[in-house]
Amino acid sequence: MPPARAVPDVLSDAFTADPYSAYRVLRRDAPLLWHEGMHSYIISRYEDVKKAFKSDEFTTANYDWQLEPIHGRTLVQMSGREHAVRRALVAPAFRGRTLREQFLPVIEENARDLIDGFRTAGSADLVDEFATRFPINVIVDMLGLDKADHPRFHRWYTAMIAFLGNLTQDPDVAAAGIRTREELADYMLPVIRQRRDNLGDDLLSTLCTAEIDGTRMSDDDVKAFCSLLLAAGGETTDKALASTFANLLRHPDQLDDVRRDRSLIPRAFAETLRYTPPVHMIMRQPAQDVTVSGGTIPAGSTVTCLIGAANRDGNRYSDPDSFDIHRTELDTATAFTAAADHLAFALGRHFCVGALLAEAEVTVAINQLLDAMPDLRLADGADPVERGVFTRGPAELPVVFTPAA
């Protein structure tokens, strides 16, 4: 197995600037790599990452130290019946009739409110003025929390994501994450107790009353799930939405296809999840020695699964470095389920519980933005640049359009 110095270093500035070139080298020359600085094995080929997500040989025990310090114990750490029951308690709120009838109006209202803030201006930064605000506003409103606290929640989820992606173990980032857990608990636990005594039709009330076989979520369970939802549902949808629009704006012919046929929006989103996923790496831990391309991973090791590399594996996708919403390898009927063809939401029992919520948010946002700004286009000279290693998306997305009257 090659030493870390023989291939691109995932902690280097060069990797941050262009991970996709590094991914090609890793898939070809070092599909299994030990990274001393991260104390982790790195895998990059589609079949290996898929195996890490779906096989019982791999666990999520890594979240005991990676997530629990800031969220508390959440369902992503659980397995067996404990995981099945906890997931069954929360999953119904994010799909089907509940999503359509109870929360879709919340999504639509938040999109309208943000777009109304710049639709008459003739220009906007879709990252700063929309993408970074929209998903966190939706989650806060779904939970029935105070709209005045949106900035506070945005700050908290930013600190949580920084903690999760703290690959260099920066002590300041770690300390900020721990403070965030304490601040969020001080805020949420009194609200949860009050909501139990005064139930409404919001998601927090649903979580407080959900029951399966006599099992309910404790106050700490509800708080931990809300914490996870704010971080994962905010950061990932933020970057997925910005990336979807950036990809379409860079490919005007495909944007025109979407303008003419809005049923293509889920295809554009699914292709974005493959081509420029919002989360580029997720960790797992094997329960036993596991063989993958390039060698064997010892039991108990940390494994960094490079989603961004696996989703561009030429052995899985034709012309993988091209953005193509008409790609035949992606089935939109399954793209937001545990049977997805891409790996952006993971797979198997730990597939992202909020995938359908993310699809609804992106679909509503793109529809409303195109309705309000039919001639939306990149500002002259704009070249949206991605930022980030653990999570990744455009840092800014300046656009121009004919202002609304």
The CATH number of the domain holding residue 77 is: 1.10.630.10
Domain range enclosing 117: 13-126+239-400
Residue 96, domain member (yes or no): yes
Residue 52, domain member (yes or no): yes
pLDDT of residue 250: 95
Report in angstroms the alpha-carbon separations of 354 from 76, 139, 269.
Answer: 12, 11, 15
pLDDT of residue 1: 54
CB 313 within 8 A of CB 46: yes
Please state, in angstroms and rounded to a whole number, the distance separating the CA atoms of residues 52 and 43. 9
Residue 163, domain member (yes or no): no
Q: Please tell me whether the overall predicted TM-score, pTM, comes out greater than 0.75 for this model.
A: yes
Q: Do the bridges between strand 290-292 and strand 377-378 make them parallel or antiparallel, or are there none, so unpaired?
A: unpaired
Tens-digit pLDDT profile for residues 293-313: 999 999 999 999 999 999 999
Specify the number of domains making up the chain: 1
Residue 380, domain member (yes or no): yes
Residue of 103, 47, 51 whose CA lies nearest to 286: 51
Calculate the average pLDDT of the chain.
Answer: 91
Residue 272, domain member (yes or no): yes
How much of the chain, in percent, has pLDDT values that exceed 90? 62
Residue 217, domain member (yes or no): no
What residues contact 384, with CB distance under 8 A and at least 6 apart? Answer: 246, 249, 250, 378, 394, 395, 396, 397
Q: Model confidence at 72, in pLDDT bands (50, 70, 90)?
A: confident
Residue 82, domain member (yes or no): yes
Residue 156, domain member (yes or no): no
